[in-house]
């Protein structure tokens, strides 16, 4: 498979992106109703012992999180993989781009395993490599490439991280996007922010003090990104037209409704939400920040949280002395993240314990090199 399905379909080539070595679990997957599934997981985990480390993203199901050695957001887990070089097998319960980052940051002796290769990220797939390079060619034509610094969100494919590294840019997370963008403005006059338009816009306007007019939206499906040459030249921040399918669902109506229904409630949202939602919320922050905010909140406090439902439910179950509500009234899990379930984890662990390597995520060396350059620039930020 390519680094993103979109890249493979559009470019028709795989060699520049990533590859996975292994086999599909078709016909081998345990039934979700198997009453012995938890016990099978425990036996397989014990058989792997210290050879393996299991990393679980905060948005995973509880049935998976219970077997995670470390839980965290995408970058924390990639760092955890790199910090445990003795673990030959890194079983990454997250999505494809996260496993790629772990492969970039781990040693050549470690193997990163994604229990279900279909666990992708819609946001990451919204920035195809050929589209990003085509945009840069426009920047070169209008004369802004030399003064434009790419800043790429962690939620991106290794191919896009590599583009960023090759063009003098850095990676950011939702918690350090402000610092990364300030660094970029120290290096150049403009920022090319991708793939999440909302994090880029919210950071530029609410943290850096830019106006909405300073930001333009590059639509890769339109000629010239849907912009005139002058709009590109005048912009301070060029935002890629990408978004999170979960965080993009929350609306100002959701906020107004919960405030009317629960007087005194505080609205806490992720900066991947739309600008109007972030502007109307009481508190805004990354996944780790959301968890910390609830941990430090007072018993009896009331919170409505705009982020992935598995995490909100876990916080509600953990802090029963607080009222914790999901901001949207409809159920909204991250569908691709939820592809990593207990049957897939059990299959992966049992197969690995038998000595067969499956679903290994391996990033092309050239892409891995420049991805690492971009990631190291982020790590060097104050």
Residue-wise pLDDT tens digits, 102-120: 999 999 999 999 999 988 8
Structural domains in the chain, CATH included, are 5-119+336-367 (3.40.50.10800), 124-243+372-379 (3.40.50.10800), 247-326 (3.40.50.10800)
State the Cα–Cα distance between residues 336 and 310, nearest whole angstrom. 13
State the Cα–Cα distance between residues 76 and 101, nearest whole angstrom. 11
Spell 99-108 as b/e; 16+ CB within 10 A means b: bbbbbbbbee
pLDDT at 23 over 60: no
This prediction has a pTM of 0.86
The H-assigned helical ranges of 174-244 are 177-187, 197-202, 229-234
Q: Report the DSSP beta bridge partners of residue 193.
A: 151, 239
**Higher pLDDT among residues 80 and 26, named by residue:** 80
Q: What is the structure's pLDDT at 13?
A: 28
Which one-letter DSSP state was computed for residue 361?
Answer: E
Q: Tell me what percent of the residues of the chain surpass a pLDDT of 70.
A: 91
Provide the terminal-to-terminal Cα distance of the chain, rounded to the nearest Å: 36
Q: Which two structure tokens, joined as six digits, stand for 124?
A: 């990451």
Q: Which two structure tokens, joined as six digits, stand for 282?
A: 């009481």
State the Cα–Cα distance between residues 67 and 188, nearest whole angstrom. 45
Q: For residue 31, is it left (φ>0), alpha (ψ between -120 and 50) or beta?
A: beta
The H-assigned helical ranges of 172-321 are 177-187, 197-202, 229-234, 252-261, 275-280, 287-295, 309-318
The single residue listed with the structure tokens 């120290």 is 186
Mean pLDDT along residues 43-60 = 94
SS3 219: coil
Sign of the alpha-carbon dihedral angle for 365, 367, 368, 370: positive
Q: What is the structure's pLDDT at 25?
A: 59
Which tens digit of pLDDT belongs to each residue from 214-223? 999 999 999 9
Q: What is the mean pLDDT of the chain?
A: 90
**Higher pLDDT among residues 14 and 60, named by residue:** 60
Q: What is the structure's pLDDT at 280?
A: 98
Task: Describe the strand order of the beta sheet including 111-113 as a list of residue ranges.
Answer: 18-21, 360-363, 111-113, 89-93, 52-57, 70-72
Q: What is the structure's pLDDT at 77?
A: 87
Q: What is the structure's pLDDT at 10?
A: 33
SS3 60: coil
């Amino acid at each position: 498979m390519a680094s993103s399905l979109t890249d493979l379909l559009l470019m028709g080539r795989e060699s520049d992106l990533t590859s996975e070595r292994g086999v599909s679990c078709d016909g081998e997957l345990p039934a979700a109703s198997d009453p012995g599934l938890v016990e099978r997981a425990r036996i397989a985990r014990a058989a792997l012992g210290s050879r393996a480390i299991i990393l679980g993203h905060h948005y995973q199901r509880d049935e998976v999180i219970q077997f995670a050695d470390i839980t965290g957001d995408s970058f924390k887990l990639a760092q955890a993989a790199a910090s445990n070089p003795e673990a030959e097998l890194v079983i990454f319960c997250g999505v494809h781009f996260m496993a790629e980052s772990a492969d970039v940051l781990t040693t050549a002796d470690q193997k990163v395993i994604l229990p279900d290769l279909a666990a992708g990220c819609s946001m990451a797939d919204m920035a195809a490599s050929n589209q990003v390079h085509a945009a840069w060619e426009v920047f070169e034509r209008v004369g802004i490439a030399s003064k434009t610094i790419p800043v790429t969100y962690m939620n991106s494919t290794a191919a896009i991280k590599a583009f960023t590294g090759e063009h003098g840019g850095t990676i950011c997370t939702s918690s350090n996007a402000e610092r990364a963008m300030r660094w970029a403005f120290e290096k150049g006059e403009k920022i090319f922010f991708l793939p999440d338009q909302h994090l880029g816009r919210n950071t530029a306007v609410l943290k850096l003090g830019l106006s909405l007019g300073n930001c333009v939206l590059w639509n890769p499906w339109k000629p010239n990104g849907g912009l005139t040459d002058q709009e590109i030249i005048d912009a301070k921040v060029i935002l890629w037209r990408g978004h999170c399918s979960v965080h993009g669902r929350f609306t100002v109506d959701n906020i107004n409704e919960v405030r009317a229904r629960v007087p005194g409630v505080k609205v806490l949202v992720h900066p991947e939400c739309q600008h109007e939602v972030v502007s109307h919320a009481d508190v805004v922050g990354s996944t780790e920040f959301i968890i910390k905010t609830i941990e430090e909140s007072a018993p009896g406090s009331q919170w409505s949280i705009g982020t992935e439902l598995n995490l909100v439910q876990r916080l509600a179950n953990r802090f029963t002395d607080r009222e914790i509500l999901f901001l949207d009234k409809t159920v909204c899990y991250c569908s691709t993240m939820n592809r990593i379930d207990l049957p897939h984890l059990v299959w992966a662990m049992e197969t690995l314990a038998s000595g067969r390597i499956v679903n290994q995520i391996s990033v092309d060396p050239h892409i891995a090199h420049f991805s690492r350059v971009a990631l190291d620039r982020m790590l060097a930020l104050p």
